[in-house]
Amino acid sequence: MTRALSLAALVLLLGGAVACSDDCPDPQNVCETRRPLPPVGPSPLDPPTPLVHVIEFRVLGTLGQKVDIRYSTSQEGTTILSTQVPWSITHRTSATSSFLTLAAAIDLDEDNFDPDPVRVQVQIIVDGQLFREADAIGLEPTVTVSGLFSGG
């Protein structure tokens, strides 16, 4: 009961708040004419944070095999590198769409030539979901995937 009375008193106190008008001639701001305070509106909303998409490029295949890789996004351009399988890199973007490309070519080691076929597989993963994938088997397999990602 005491809590309800306290709450009612608070509502009356806040609801009955008034302030002097701006044209009050009294220097101490005590006026006969009083007006209610304007209602307080909601605070402005913060701008929404942009949705960030996670793009992962992967090259898999015969473990330790030398591979030449080329990958690109519309925002970051093309990157070319030579490394060993397996390989992956992750990019984050707030772009709503992006053209993605991933290519891999096995680079045969002429000093240690092995006539057995090797495997190479490329994958583009967007937001944890497989977006594009391809693989090849051979002496010098090359594989490429690409596509336009639209993630809204």
> pLDDT tens digits for 87-105?
999 999 988 899 999 999 9
What is the band of 75 on the pLDDT scale with cuts at 50, 70, 90? confident
Burial class (CB in 10 A: 0-12, 13-18, 19+), 85: buried
The residue written with tokens 């002496």 in the block is 139
**Per-residue confidence (pLDDT) for residue 84, from 0 to 100:** 93
pLDDT confidence of residue 62: 85
* Phi-psi region at 29: left, alpha or beta (left = phi > 0; alpha = psi -120 to 50): left
In the predicted model, what is the mean pLDDT of residues 75-90?
94
Exposure string over 56-73, b if 16+ CB within 10 A, otherwise e: ebbbbbbeebebebebbb
Q: Can you give the pLDDT at residue 24? A: 55
Each residue of 58-68: pLDDT tens digit?
Answer: 999 988 889 99
Segment 30-52 mean pLDDT: 68
When mean pLDDT is compared across 47-51, 73-77, 123-127, 148-152, the lowest value belongs to: 47-51
What is the value of pTM for the model shown?
0.66
Q: What is the pLDDT of residue 107?
A: 83
% of the chain at pLDDT higher than 70: 68
